[in-house]
Structure 1
Amino acid sequence: MVAIGSVIDEKYEILKLIGQGGMSKVYLAMDKRLNKQWAVKEIQKRARNKHNEVVIQSAIAEANMIKNLDHPSLPRIVDIIDSGNVIYVIMDYIEGEPLSQIIEEYGAQPQEIVIEWAKQLCEVLDYLHTCNPPIIYRDMKPANVMLKPDGNIKLIDFGIAREYKEKNLADTVSLGTKGYAAPEQFGGQGQTDPRTDVYCLGVTLYHLVTGHNPSEPPYELYPIRQWNPNLSGGLERIIQKCTQLNPDDRYQSCAELLYALNHYEEADDEYRIKQKKKLRRFSFVVGAAIFSLGIGIFGQVMNNQINNNDYNNNIEWAEKATKNEEKLKYYLNAIDIKPTANDAYLGLIEFFKSDTVFTVEEEEQLKKKMTTNFTNVAEDDTEYADLAFEIGKLYWYYYDYGRTENNDNQITRMKSSTQWFEDAVTYGTADRDYYEMAIIYRDIGKFNAEINSQIEEASDKGLYLPYWENIQSLLTLVEENPDESELVKLELYKLAANAIENYARKFKADGVKEKEIRAVFETVKKSTVNVVTTTDKTETMKNEIINRFETIEKSITNAYRNQGG
């Protein structure tokens, strides 16, 4: 232990001990030359931790890792001094309190404040995850988050952070704080990755907003409203998704989690009910402010004629515009002129599809117009049903939310589209040419949204046969349409391939014959090979499906082994 008042490297005067743990001690020091305070971490080279690993190696790795980082929510390393038996790491002194101390003194923190902290933590974790190579923090907990006097936070203690190595099947040791750590941090369950930090952050938010320490009895993460009914249902859903045991069921990145936090109120029960009511009530509110009660029929007719001309002109300008921002502006102008006419919406949808990506920002623009203008839906409003079907397909095939390099977000897209197909069925009529397809899309989306919980409850038996029949029907409908786009075809072939690979045994249990499975698989193989691709995206999709043919074949063989088709 360094003596208070001693000077390290002739410039850092030790003022007091401010913290210590099993691996090191931390002192407050004054830089005699710069008249600036620093934190000095002292590590004895002889020290060993409980895994019998030399602590100095971990400490130097931590220091070198942080030294190369640059983010306002991370401390800086300014010096590393080797003094024989001791290593001194000189870093920013962070004035403030750890969130663990704040909870201990004041209990659960206000929801709005916790969400703001969570957003900052998402941003810094996303920064770490997008480094090259990515850095997985692995020890998110209130004790490692410092709250500064200005209200901002700093993430400290990188003692068990690691660089993500793509080909590693598992981490070498079990590290993390029990109660906060994700299941995969305890060995044998795969390598930690960004989703590990999503889990730890979810548990941290749980502790902050409920005041209940997950490391103490009852050792279980209850829904947060069980502790405080006044908390947001939206935030509850976010925390529950973060803390799923299976990493595939969590948010797949901190960027995705940050988006959810920015829109947590939209996931709240009351908000969702209100929005659903808005989208169910469709009536065109004519002239919110009519000039006067005395306006005549002639004036109304002339005004309608002007509106029609302006509406058509804006659509025509949008179709001719060469710049994306101009196209968008003209379509939105047209919608404002005639808020419940379909043509401008359909043009806007085609514009969103033109780059094969429906972004979160584009979704916000569309939802704003829909929520504002479609406030009352007639019982059999086929015009609205037509539009709902096209919006459903926009989500199903193009939605970008949750897409990462390793996750094509197909399940997210299907789930997001389901309500629109539901509206197409509810408000449409059986004579519409898309009606049957809307039912199939809706039912496939519902299956994928609900199947995991049904499996957990062991109530999934009998659900796979109708799912299989819907996939067959959708394949038939798409194959019968020669004008269907290459993207739509490939997405469908990928859906069928995924279903066979993942559920072959379930299909068998529900009575689907092997020859049926193989017939569909042969159709998918032949059709995929025959798709003519015109973009890099669809070429990549095509190759990914083809590369899985062998795996799918094995899934069928394994499912139907020792049984005739």
Structure 2
Amino acid sequence: MAAIGSVLEGKYEILKLIGQGGMSKVYLAMDKRLNKQWAVKEIEKRERDRNYEIIYQSAIAEANMIKRLDHPALPRIVDIIDDRDRIFVIMDYIEGEPLDKILDEYGAQPQELVIEWAKQLCEVLDYLHTRNPSIIYRDMKPGNVMLKPDGNLKLIDFGIAREYKEQNLADTVSLGTKGYAAPEQFGGKGQTDPRTDVYCLGVTLYHLVTGHNPSEPPYELYPIRYWNPHLSGGLERIIEKCTQLNPDDRFQSCAELLYALNHYEEADDVYREKQKKKLRNFYAVAGSSLLFLMIGIFGQVMNVKADNADYSRYIELAEKASAPSTKIGYYYNAIDIKPTENTAYIGLINTFKADASFTVEEEASFKKKLNPNLIKFRENPEYADLAFEVGKAYWYYYDYGKSETTDNQVTRMKSSIGWFEDAVEYGSKEKDYYEMAVIYRDIGKFNQNILLQIEEASDQGKYKPYWENLKKLIALIDKKPNESEIVKLELYKLAMYSIETYARKFKLDGISEKDMRALADAVKRSTNDVAVTAEKTEEIKSNIISRFEITDQAIENAYRK
């Protein structure tokens, strides 16, 4: 077992144990050179133990397999350390919660959300299946799917994935998770292929939408409407087809399954019956419809007026409340009335930020309210406004991974990327924040990807666009006299850190010494001009000022002749 505080290869300091299975352990580690967190998977080597030999070989195969892949829903591996009696695999540390934890805490998930997740999983599985040779994942289950803070999914644990071998009649080893695994995953029942992942995904969707674990009693997959009659018959048919015992009776690919998910309502009993009755009933109900329409409109108008009044009342109560917990309660009440309106969500975010910290607990409660409504919310033209504000909350205030000795600036930036992408995708170029959202997104992506690009020696040409984005963002922020002190200081800190870390890289990408010194001097002046009013911002300001000399030296070293 790796000792807490030990350093691997002089680079990766083991911070804490974050996960453990029968054959391996996973640690959180800090790259001492790059100030970035990684996940470190440790697998022990045990002689004369066939199970451990299988797991060890699987770990090597997993690492080599993932290194060849490039998909946003898959983790990256950046290093493999083969020690005498164990192996360490250095990979992306993924912030978020596995779906099995979400099921344990909240139970069955909303149908529309599960379908959205299903589409994401179909896309990444189809990516794996269309590699050459195909990669069969074989262990789809809620515990192997991470829900990131931006609402997107990440597939983890490739320990039993395998490359499809066309000449094989059967798999040599039975591996998988009981309850989720397809029949052919158990020895002697044929070779696993893409339809195996279709089966496992179908069982996973069953668990997510019903809340019933297939690996627990009654150990049987009932139709999903047995558990909840309000679920879609179309989705029920899709899950039943996915989980047929005979692979020939399932969807034959994840692309085919994805198409079915995009049209699931058309397979619904209610939808079909409506289509049959439309023409038959049209003339019979035309006359009475007008009368009922008038009555319905009147009733709807009265209901809308009542909802509007209640919503406005809760917003007003929240704004007048002094205790944060009271404010939050009123905003939640307002969201329950209008779950796809901005005002209450933005008030909630502002309340969370009031103490200069967006905590993991606050994030969880916020996502619990937002996520079930997110798909429909994106149809609201004002959604982009909220996405931008949520992105800023993550960028500047998120406290996940922060400690007394470790800054979490890269984690904050990475967690915000998806929100700024939504602000750009669903927003309009006429919005005053649009350009800023693009810059935030691109700066975040640079910091997300640059370490791996450095490892792969593919970082040339990436620094100049990053430099220009830094300059633009500082210029935009400096034009806002009422911008908060923490926003300004965090941005100035990022600029100084970037110069200190990448001065030589900036030079190689064509940034002149004059340009770099001009920005550094401007940041120094702006930092000194910020009037701080809180202990946290005083600490950030002092930290930036203490780095002035180090930053100057970095520029000096970069351009020394």
Partner of 1:304: 304
Alpha-carbon distance in structure 1 between the residues aligned to 2:482 and 2:421: 25
TM-score by length of 2: 0.56
The residue aligned with 1:511 is 510
Amino acid at match of 1:321: A
**Partner-residue secondary structure (3-state), 2:62:** coil
Instruction: Give the corresponding residue for 1:110.
Output: none
Aligned partner of 2:62: which letter?
Y
Shift of 1:370: 2.0
Hey, what's the Cα distance between the residues in 2 that align with 1:299 and 1:325? 35
1:62-120 CA-partner distances (Å, limit 9, x unpaired) = xxxxxxxxxxxxxxxxxxxxxxxxxxxxxxxxxxxxxxxxxxxxxxxxxxxxxxxxxxx
Q: Does the C-alpha gap of structure 1 residues 201 and 521 become closer, same or farther in structure 2, counting only changes over 3 Å? A: closer
Q: Which residue of 2 aligns with 1:546?
A: 545
Measure the CA separation in 2 of the matches of 1:272 and 1:258: 10
Q: Does 1:183 align with 2:22?
A: no
SS at match of 1:556: helix
- Shift of the 250–422 alpha-carbon distance from structure 1 to 2, 3 Å rule, reads closer
- Do the aligned partners of 1:331 and 1:348 also contact (CA within 8 Å) in 2? yes
Cα offsets for 1:242-273 (capped at 9, x unmatched): 97899997759xxx899999575552799559
Corresponding position of 1:462:
461
Assess if the C-alpha contact under 8 Å between 2:75 and 2:154 holds in 1.
Answer: no
Bigger drift between 259-268 and 500-509 goes to 259-268
State the SS of the aligned residue for 1:376: helix
- 2:477–2:483 contact (8 Å) kept in structure 1: yes
Residue of structure 2 in register with 1:335 after alignment: 335
Any conservation in 1 of the 2:358–2:394 contact (CA below 8 Å)? yes
- Cα distance in 2 for residues equivalent to 1:191 and 1:543: 26
Distance 1:524 1:225, change over 3 A: same
Change (3 A) 1:221 1:356: farther
CA distance in 1, matches of 2:377, 2:315: 24
The match for 1:361 is 361
Structure 2 stretches of 5 or more lacking a match? 18-25, 30-38, 67-71, 83-87, 103-142, 156-204, 209-258, 263-291
Q: 1:497 maps to which residue?
A: 496
Question: Measured at CA, do residues 268 and 434 of structure 1 come closer, stay the same or move farther in structure 2, by a change above 3 Å?
Answer: closer
- The 2-side partners of 1:346 and 1:213 are apart by 53
Residue 344 of structure 1 aligns with an amino acid whose one-letter code is A
In the aligned structure 1, how far is the partner of 2:317 from the partner of 2:345?
A: 15
The answer as to whether partners of 2:342 and 2:386 remain within 8 angstroms in 1 is yes
Q: Distance in 1 between matches of 2:351 and 2:453?
A: 38
Give how far 1:323 is off. 2.4
Provide Cα deviations, 1:196-225, integer angstroms capped at 9, x if missing partner.
964697314999xx9445997799473498
Query: What letter is aligned with 1:438?
Result: A
For 1:222, which of 20, 42, 62 is the aligned residue?
A: 62
Pairwise CA distance, 1:459:
1.2
Inter-CA distance 542–365: structure 2 relative to 1 (3 Å threshold): same
Instruction: Give the Cα–Cα distance (whole angstroms) in 2 for the partners of residues 549 and 350 of structure 1.
Output: 32
Q: Which residue number in structure 2 is paired with residue 526 of structure 1? A: 525
Paired position in structure 2 for 1:267: 146
Structure 2 residue identity aligned to 1:183: L
Partner of 1:76: none
Q: Give the alignment partner of residue 42 of structure 2, picking from 193, 196, 203.
A: 203
> Is 1:418–1:446's contact at 8 Å kept on the other side of the alignment?
yes
- Post-superposition Cα deviations, 1:165-192, rounded to whole Å, max 9, x if no partner, equal xxxxxx8xxxxxxxxxx624xxx66876
Q: State the partner residue of 1:49.
A: none
Counterpart CA distance in 2 for 1:183 and 1:449 is 22
User: SS of the counterpart of 2:382?
Assistant: helix
Q: How does 1:209-248 map to 2 (within 5 A)?
A: 211-213=51-53, 220=60, 222-223=62-63, 237=75
Asked if 2 retains the 8 angstrom alpha-carbon contact of 1:385 and 1:423, the reply is: yes
Structure 1 residue 359 displacement after superposition:
0.9
Would the aligned equivalents of 2:485 and 2:531 in 1 still touch at CA under 8 Å? Answer: yes
Deviation of 1:530 after TM superposition, in Å, equals 1.2
Larger radius of gyration: 1
Question: C-alpha separation between the residues in 2 aligned to 1:248 and 1:201?
Answer: 5
| Aligned-residue offset at 1:332 | 0.6
In 1, the alpha carbon distance for the partners of 2:452 and 2:531 equals: 38
Deviation string for 1:147-172 (max 9, x for gaps)?
xxxxxxxxxxxxxx68x6xxxxxx8x
Matched residue, 2:430: 431
Contact 1:244 1:250 survives alignment (8 Å):
no
TM-score where L is the length of structure 1? 0.55
- SS at 1:202 equivalent: strand
Tell me the amino acid that sits aligned with residue 468 of structure 1. W
1:560/1:214 CA distance change after superposition, 3 Å: farther
Indicate conservation of the 8 Å contact 1:265/1:271, yes or no.
no
Which has the larger share of helix?
2
Indicate if the aligned counterparts of 1:243 and 1:250 stay in contact, CA closer than 8 A.
no
Aligned residue number for residue 190 of structure 2? none
Q: d(CA) in 2 for partners of 1:260 and 1:560?
A: 50
Write the letter of the residue equivalent to 1:389: F
- Check conservation: 2:485, 2:537, Cα contact below 8 A: yes
SS at match of 1:267: strand
Q: CA RMSD in A?
A: 4.0
Give the equivalent residue in structure 2 for 1:95: none
Q: Deviations over 1:462-488 (max 9, x none)?
A: 110000000000000011110000000
- Measure the CA separation in 2 of the matches of 1:190 and 1:203: 13
Decide whether aligned partners of structure 1 residues 212 and 356 sit closer, same or farther in structure 2, where only a CA change above 3 A counts: same
Matches within 5 A, 1:77-476: 139-140=1-2, 183-184=8-9, 194=16, 198=28, 202-204=41-43, 211-213=51-53, 220=60, 222-223=62-63, 237=75, 262=101, 265-267=144-146, 271=153, 296-376=296-376, 381-476=380-475
Aligned residue identity for 1:222: E
Once the two structures are superposed, residues 339-396 of structure 1 have per-residue CA deviations (whole angstroms, 9 ceiling, x without a partner) of 11111111011001011111111111222222211223667x5311111111110111
Deviation for aligned residue 1:318: 1.0
- Tell me by how many angstroms 1:237 deviates: 4.5
Aligned length: 356
**Closer, same or farther: CA 266–346 of 1 in aligned 2, 3 Å:** farther
In 2 relative to 1, CA 304–430 (structure 1 residues): closer, same or farther, beyond 3 Å?
same
Task: Please say if residues 318 and 327 of structure 1, whose CA atoms lie closer than 8 Å, have aligned partners that are also in contact.
Answer: yes
Change (3 A) 1:216 1:243: closer
Which one-letter code corresponds to 1:267 in the other structure?
Answer: M
2-structure distance, mates of 1:509, 1:489: 28
- Matched position secondary structure for 2:403: coil
Structure-2 change in CA distance of 1:524 and 1:260 (3 Å): farther
Q: How far off is 1:438 after superposition? A: 0.6
Change in Cα spacing, 1:193 to 1:431, as seen in structure 2 (3 Å) is closer
Is this contact kept in 1: 2:40–2:91, CA < 8 A? no
Aligned residues: percent identity? Answer: 48
| Unaligned residue ranges in structure 1 (runs of 5+) | 1-138, 141-160, 165-170, 172-181, 227-232, 281-291
* Residue 433 (structure 1) shift: 0.5
Cα distance, 1:266–1:403 mapped onto 2, change above 3 Å: farther
The amino acid across from 2:418 in the alignment is Q
* Residues 78 and 455, structure 2, Cα contact 8 Å, conserved in 1: no
Question: Aligned runs of 1:12-27 on 2, under 5 Å?
Answer: none
**In structure 2, C-alpha distance between the alignment counterparts of 1:190 and 1:460, rounded to whole Å:** 21
